[in-house]
């Protein structure tokens, strides 16, 4: 089949791009023809082949003398919209794709749906987070949203009709898919699926767990809303009671990086992509600006430190970070769409104590690879950590069960199989595939 995939980036380290690279390469290896349209990336060629995948990068449009005034009348988003529409129309007329898969295009998503519908090309929307229904992509302000804010309500109203052009909708988690369906989007989709993103994560040797103290860790953004401030305050109180028998390592920075066309990304600081094509995806809630995040990180470092049993290391590779840990902590203050950092921890044999929020509930198996705490309870995190400090054998028992418990999430071929099934279903007559692969409920 001839497949076109659309995403904000292709070579960037964020989770949507990492998943798309894996899927695109896998489809090519299975004999499909894959073209990826990505938004402009610094240093990226406008048209190149990467591992058999043709990658077209959308450069900002430039006016001709005849279109100068029309071009000047548009704002930046309008110019991107026009450039994407022009590229897709040309691509569809020459490549004749069998199906289109839209991943993370931000404000250009509805444009892609419209052009696909006009060309009669079936389209699937793959939801990696809440960007389609929330401008911050997090369903979170400070404090958390009890109800959708006015901006989101207005955006959802406009997108509701536009999403009727989508033939299939795929969520990386039930939490993500359920939120979009509850907002009234994709009512006309004839195919709904949950396809969990998989990591190609090599087994890591489990070092002996005979240490003079219990080592806890947090790996992710140090930003408002990430929960790391609550974690540090909680751990400082526990350290006052238990002393040097416990230590917390915090790996991350206060700068999440941005995409030039896409605003703030959901991810860890931009770093080189590893040989497996993946990058640690930190679940970053909506923040104001990188400068605000950096200031917040500096404040936490000044307030908490080694006197409180906490060490701030800066970014570390996942393998190195987890090699020294007994337990990871995921103190999310938002409905996490897909917890890649948690999967990395469990895949490296380190169980996780996590807030009972979002897709964390789809990955953590209590007593097997971690435990939940109730985030709305005043001492929910402290209670669980205190229990485990007093019973370290319970932590060690979970180490052995961690990686087998998420075998499905480490199976890249399974993920490619399921995306291939969706693409194949799009090419069939409606009556032959009106079904749900993994329903949201």
Q: What is the CATH number of the domain that holds 236?
A: 3.40.50.2000
Do residues 55 and 85 both lie within one domain?
Answer: yes
Question: What is the spatial distance between Cα 294 and Cα 129, in angstroms, rounded to a whole number?
Answer: 24
Cα angle value 69/70/76 (rounded, 5°) = 105
Residues 365-397 have pLDDT tens digits of 999 999 999 999 989 999 999 999 999 999 999
Do residues 67 and 45 both lie within one domain?
Answer: yes
Domains of the chain: total: 2
Does 154 score more than 70 pLDDT? no
Per the CB < 8 A criterion, the answer to whether 282 and 331 are in contact is no
- When pLDDT is averaged across residues 141-145 and rounded to a whole number, the result is 57
CA distances from 280 to 5, 124, 339 (A): 23, 26, 10
Q: Is residue 208 part of a domain?
A: no
* pLDDT score of 150: 67
CA atoms within 13 A on the CB side of 276: 16
- Secondary structure (DSSP) of 22-61: HHHHHHHHTT-EEEEEEE--TT--SEEEETTEEEEEEPPP
Do residues 397 and 417 both lie within one domain?
Answer: no
Tally the residues of the chain: 441
Backbone Cα Rg of the chain:
22
Residues 318-371 have pLDDT tens digits of 999 999 899 999 999 889 999 999 999 999 999 999 999 999 999 999 999 999
Q: Is residue 136 part of a domain?
A: yes
Beta strand 99-102 with 2-7 is parallel
Per the CB < 8 A criterion, the answer to whether 306 and 247 are in contact is no
Q: Is residue 204 part of a domain?
A: no
Do residues 249 and 154 both lie within one domain?
Answer: no
How does residue 254 score in pLDDT terms, banded at 50, 70 and 90?
Answer: low
Q: Is residue 285 part of a domain?
A: yes
Do residues 46 and 170 both lie within one domain?
Answer: yes
Do residues 222 and 367 both lie within one domain?
Answer: yes
How does residue 158 score in pLDDT terms, banded at 50, 70 and 90?
Answer: confident
Residue 136's domain comprises 2-198+411-436
How does residue 144 score in pLDDT terms, banded at 50, 70 and 90?
Answer: low
Do residues 117 and 232 both lie within one domain?
Answer: no
* pLDDT score of 163: 95
How does residue 38 score in pLDDT terms, banded at 50, 70 and 90?
Answer: very high
Q: Is residue 441 part of a domain?
A: no
Q: Is residue 426 part of a domain?
A: yes
Do residues 169 and 231 both lie within one domain?
Answer: no
* pLDDT score of 428: 87
Do residues 224 and 173 both lie within one domain?
Answer: no
Question: What is the spatial distance between Cα 34 and Cα 5, in angstroms, rounded to a whole number?
Answer: 7
Do residues 229 and 377 both lie within one domain?
Answer: yes
Do residues 93 and 222 both lie within one domain?
Answer: no
Q: Is residue 101 part of a domain?
A: yes
For the entire predicted model, the pTM comes to 0.85
Q: Is residue 152 part of a domain?
A: yes
395-433: b (≥16 Cβ within 10 Å) or e: beebbeebbebbeebbebeebbebbbebbebbeeeeeeb
DSSP 3-state of 97: coil
Do residues 231 and 297 both lie within one domain?
Answer: yes
**In whole numbers, what is the pLDDT of the chain averaged over residues?**
83
* pLDDT score of 362: 98
Does 239 score more than 70 pLDDT? yes
Does 410 score more than 50 pLDDT? yes
Residues 110-128 have pLDDT tens digits of 999 999 999 999 999 999 9
């Amino acid at each position: 089949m001839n497949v076109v995939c659309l995403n904000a980036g292709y070579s960037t380290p964020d989770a949507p791009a990492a998943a798309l690279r894996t899927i695109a390469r896998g489809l090519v290896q299975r004999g499909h023809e894959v073209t990826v349209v990505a938004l402009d990336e610094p240093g990226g060629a406008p048209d190149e082949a990467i591992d058999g995948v043709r990658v077209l990068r959308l450069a900002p449009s430039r006016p001709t003398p005849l279109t100068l005034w029309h071009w000047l009348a548009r704002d930046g988003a309008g110019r991107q919209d026009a450039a994407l529409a022009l590229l897709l129309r040309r691509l569809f007329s020459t490549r004749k794709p069998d199906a289109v898969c839209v991943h993370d295009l931000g404000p250009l998503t509805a444009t892609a749906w419209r052009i696909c519908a006009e060309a009669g090309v079936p389209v699937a929307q793959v939801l990696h987070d809440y960007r389609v229904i929330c401008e911050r992509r997090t369903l979170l302000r400070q404090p958390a949203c009890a109800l959708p804010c006015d901006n989101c309500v207005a955006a959802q109203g406009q997108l509701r009709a536009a999403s009727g052009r989508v033939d299939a909708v795929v969520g990386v988690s039930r939490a993500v898919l359920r939120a979009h369906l509850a907002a009234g989007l994709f009512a006309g989709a004839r195919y709904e699926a949950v396809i969990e993103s998989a990591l190609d994560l090599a087994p890591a040797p489990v070092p002996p767990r005979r240490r003079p103290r219990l080592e806890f860790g947090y790996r992710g953004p140090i930003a408002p809303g990430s929960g790391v401030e609550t974690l540090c305050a909680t751990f400082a109180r526990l350290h006052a009671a238990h002393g040097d028998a416990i230590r917390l390592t915090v790996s991350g920075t206060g700068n999440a990086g941005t995409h030039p066309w896409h605003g703030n990304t959901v991810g860890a600081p931009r770093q080189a992509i590893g040989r497996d094509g993946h990058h640690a995806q930190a679940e970053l809630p909506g923040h104001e600006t990188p400068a605000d995040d950096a200031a917040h990180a500096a404040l936490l470092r000044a307030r908490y430190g080694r006197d409180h049993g906490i060490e701030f290391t800066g970014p570390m590779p996942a393998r190195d970070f987890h090699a020294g840990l007994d337990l990871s902590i995921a103190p999310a203050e938002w409905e996490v769409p897909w917890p890649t950092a948690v999967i990395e921890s469990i895949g490296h044999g380190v169980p996780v104590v996590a807030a009972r929020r979002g897709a964390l509930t789809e990955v953590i198996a209590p007593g097997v690879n971690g435990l939940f705490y109730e985030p709305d309870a005043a001492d929910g995190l402290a209670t669980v950590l205190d229990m485990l400090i007093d019973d370290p054998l319970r932590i060690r028992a979970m180490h052995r069960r961690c990686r087998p418990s998420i075998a499905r999430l480490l199976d890249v071929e399974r993920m490619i199989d399921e995306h291939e099934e969706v693409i194949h279903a799009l090419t069939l007559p409606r009556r032959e595939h009106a079904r749900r692969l993994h329903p949201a409920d």
